[in-house]
Amino acid sequence: MTQDSRDGSESQADHAHENEHIRVRLKVINLIGVLLPFAGLVVAISLLWNVAFNWVQLGILLVMYVVTALGITVGYHRLFTHRSFKTPRVVEAILSILGSMAAEGPVLQWVAQHRMHHQHSDAEHDPHSPHGHGTGVFDTLRGMWHAHMGWFIYKQPRNLDKYTKDLRKSMLIVWMSRLFPVWVLAGLVLPAIFGGLFTWSWGGVLWGFIWGGLVRVFLVHHVTWSINSVCHIWGTKPFKSNDESRNNAIFGVLALGEGWHNNHHAFPTSARHGLRWWQVDVSYFVIWCMSKIGLASEIRVPSRERIQEKAIA
C-alpha cells in the first residue's frame, strides 16, 4: 500500500469517526430538547390537579388534541399533501378546518412545505432537516432547533406555490386556506365554551381556553414537530429511502401513526403508515372507518410485493 492510499484511508476513517460523533451529539441534544417540554407538562398537570386542572380539563384537552391532530395527519398530510384517498368535499372542508385549528399554518402553505420536504428530504433544500448544519456543538444545536421548530418561524422558502398547483384549482381549499385565522380562533374559543358549559362557571371558560386551547396547541405542535426532528434521528430503518427517515414507535402512538416515518418515506402516497399489524396507526384506522360509511374511497396502500421489494434485507 502506498503512502497516499494509507493517508486516504486514514482520512476516510477520521471523517467517519467525526460523523459518528456528530450523530451521537445530535441524538443527545434532540432527546433532551424533546423530553423536557413533555416532562414540564406532566409536572404542571400533577401540581395543578384539582387546582387548575381536573377530569373536565383533561377530557377537553384530549378531545381537542385528537380531533385537531387528525386534522393534520388525515387531512393536511394524507389527504391534501399525498392524495392517498378521496373523500367528499364536505369532509375535505371539515378536515381542513380541524387541521387549521392545530395552528400549524394554512393548508396550502403546510402542503407546499411538506411536498418540498419530500422532494429534498435531508438534502440542501429540505425546509426542516436536522442534518447538514455543520460539525460543531452550536451547529448541532442549530440543526436540532431548525428541524423541530425553527423552520416554522423563519422566512418561508420562495416559489412554494409551485407545489400546490393542483390544490389551487379547488376554490374550497383556497378559501379554507384564506380563512386560516378564523379556524385558529375557533380552535381556541370552542374549548373555552365547552369548559364553561361543563362547569357552568367563568373559571371553566378560562381553564377550557388554557388547557383545550393554548396547551393543546403546544402539545400538537411539539408532537408534530418531533416527526421532523426525532423521526429523522431516532428509530429503525426497515425500508430503502434516500434520507434519514426512521420509524419511532413512541411517536407512532403519540402522532396517531405518523411516527412510522421510514415506512412513509418509502411509500409516500400510502394512506397506511403502520404497515405491520403491530404498528399502531390511528389515522389509517380513521380512514378505514370512513371508507366503511362511504366517506373515503380509492385508498392507496402498497402491495405486499412492493413492500417486500423495498425492504432492507
pLDDT digits 0-9 by tens, 28-69: 655 665 567 777 888 888 888 888 899 999 999 999 999 999
Does 131 reside within a domain? no
In a domain, 244, yes or no: yes
SS3 content of the chain, % helix, strand, coil (to 5): 70, 5, 30
| 182 within a domain of the structure (yes/no) | yes
Whether 40 is in a domain gets the answer no
Reply yes or no on whether the pLDDT at 9 is more than 90: no
Q: What is the domain count for the chain?
A: 1
In angstroms, the CA 311 to CA 313 distance is 6
Average pLDDT of 98-106?
A: 94
pLDDT (average), residues 19-30: 58
Query: Is 256 part of a structural domain of the chain?
Result: yes
**Cβ neighbours around 91 below 10 Å, total:** 16
In this prediction, residue 115 has a pLDDT band, given cuts at 50, 70 and 90, of very high
CA pair distance 161, 109, nearest whole angstrom: 8
* Residue-level pLDDT at 29: 59
Whether the pLDDT of residue 7 is over 50: the answer is no
Q: Is residue 262 part of a domain?
A: yes
Q: What pLDDT was estimated at residue 165?
A: 96
More confident residue, 27 or 291: 291
Does the residue 34 lie in any domain?
no
Taking each helix axis as running N to C, give the angle between helix 89-101 and helix 171-178, from 0 to 180 degrees, rounded to the nearest 10: 20
pTM metric for this prediction: 0.87
- At residue 16, the pLDDT reads 45
Which range of residues forms the domain containing residue 304?
54-126+161-310
* pLDDT, tens digit (0-9, with 9 covering 90-100), for 77-101: 999 999 999 999 999 999 999 999 9
- Look at residue 170 and tell me if it is in a domain: yes
